[in-house]
Amino acid sequence: MSRLPQATQLLLTASLALSSCSSSSDSSSSGTDTSLYSFRALSLGGHVGLDSQTRFAGGNLRLDLPPGMDHSSVLVAASIPDGATVWVDDTQIQSGTTRLDLTQDMWVRVESGDGNNATLYFMDVTDDLPDVDDTVIDFLTDHQVSGAAYGILKGEKLVYASSAGTAADGVDATPNTIFRVASVSKPITLRAILQLVDDGEVTLDSTVFGVGGVLEFDFGTAPYSAGIEDITIDYLLRHVSGWTNDPNDPLFQNPGFTTEELIDDVLDNRTLTTTPGDTYAYSNFGYLVLGRVIEKLSGQTYEAYVTSALLTPMGMTSTQIGGDALVDRLADEAQYYANGGSDPYANSMGRLDSAGGWTTTVGDLARFLAGVDRMQVVPDDLSTSLQSYSYLGFTNWYHTGSLPGTSAIIERIDDEYSFVALMNARGPAGAILSDDLRTMMQTIFADQAEWPNYDLLQVQ
């Protein structure tokens, strides 16, 4: 992660954001005007769709470019008075066609149409936010975590995505590194179930087991114990099914069992602790069952349905169920570290699937957040009533994920901001970092007043 020289922090002046390379003439632009209305980076290297506009403050400019990309060939555009010309160092800018090497700070000069006047602007070109990155680096150091990737959304735009530390031995983490996300998989499963509801395949009040249930008697042995046939889709989604993790979490018992064998065993040998619908008790097992509901209703595997119905339409092309062993690691995937805790490769990600098996990137989770936040710049593509189901209807909500070798969080802070943070370890001795991760991100938002104005979700 490189850091380019910095100048004064600058404020965005939205009124200067014109879209053409020249303004209409008026009484103030009679050939002597040397104003620079806007200066924008449109693309970099082979990546298009950037559109990062400079922030103005007095005679200085600041241009934000995304970290981790090639800044040596940036397509630029400028908005200036009729007849004027704009130069960057010794290069005259032809708006929308000139490419510049912006790996260092530059001087921008606007010359009047009559050739008698010029205004010089210093342009600070930066690809990082030091206060943000330093906070993450300090977190990794304090908690002995190898690597992280993280992203900030503002107004459904991914305005910052960066990384710190190492993704694997000798390999730096990048914003595009693929990470396991553990229980951050559950909002994906929830959204997939809501899609089936919206499509009329099931209702939230549909029962799951027994006569008339979605799964009927596909698992376990009839007759079921008391309350099982009263469990609904809604109860599983909201963790009020009646199953608890006392004395242990069934999802992590009997590691040699297949998914089907595990569900059979729980139905046959584990009675409900509370009445369905009455008491909240976080249940990984409940979300494992929801994965089988999706398979029964769709006629596809859980991963295939979620990919076709949800991930592909959202543009989440780097998201898939993870592999179990180190040898199964994808080309861009992180390596997971025990950090003094349990073996990160001891769990079957395929068995965890709908409860905690997804791997993904910061960019893909940013797309997911933008598609479930009820702010319609990016459509949520659900009926209005379903867009506010459960925690999706809250102004502020978050979901964390934790497994050996994995710490993850997504959060909708308010109607403007959301964030993603992914790491390839728990804390020392396997300490769960969920609360600390959230505190770290809250510190970042408290300290950082200004964000870039590009949208990395539009960069291709």
d(CA 311, CA 392): 18
* Domain-wise residue ranges, the chain: 14-126, 129-460
Distance CA 389, CA 206 (A): 16
Fold matches, 14-126 and 129-460: no
Strand bridging mode 38-44 / 179-180: unpaired
State the pairing for strand pair 118-126/60-64. parallel
Rounded-to-integer distance, Cα 257 and Cα 271, Å: 19
Q: Which CATH class is domain 129-460?
A: alpha beta
DSSP 416: S
**Contact present, 113 and 51 (Cβ < 8 Å):** no
- How far is the first Cα of the chain from the last one, in angstroms, to the nearest whole number? 20
Tell me the pLDDT of the chain (460 aa) as tens digits: 333 333 322 222 222 222 223 333 333 445 889 999 999 999 988 888 899 999 887 779 999 999 888 899 999 999 999 999 999 998 999 999 999 999 999 999 999 999 899 999 999 999 889 999 999 999 999 999 999 999 999 999 999 999 999 999 999 999 999 999 999 999 999 999 999 999 999 999 999 999 999 999 999 999 999 999 999 999 999 999 999 998 999 999 999 999 999 999 999 999 999 999 999 999 999 999 999 999 999 999 999 999 999 999 999 999 999 999 999 999 999 999 999 999 999 999 999 999 999 999 999 999 999 999 999 899 999 999 999 999 999 999 999 999 999 999 999 999 999 999 999 999 999 999 999 999 999 999 988 888 999 999 998 7
Q: Whose CA is closest to 213, among 189, 253, 239, 241?
A: 241
Structure tokens at 420: 């993603």
Phi then psi dihedrals of residue 179, to 5 deg:
-125, 150
What is the token pair recorded at 150? 């993280």
How many other C-beta atoms can be found within 10 angstroms of the C-beta atom of residue 179? 31
Chain position carrying tokens 């910095």? 6
Determine the CATH number of domain 14-126. 2.60.40.2340
Which amino acid is located at 335 in the chain? Answer: Q
Tokens of residue 290, six digits: 């929801």
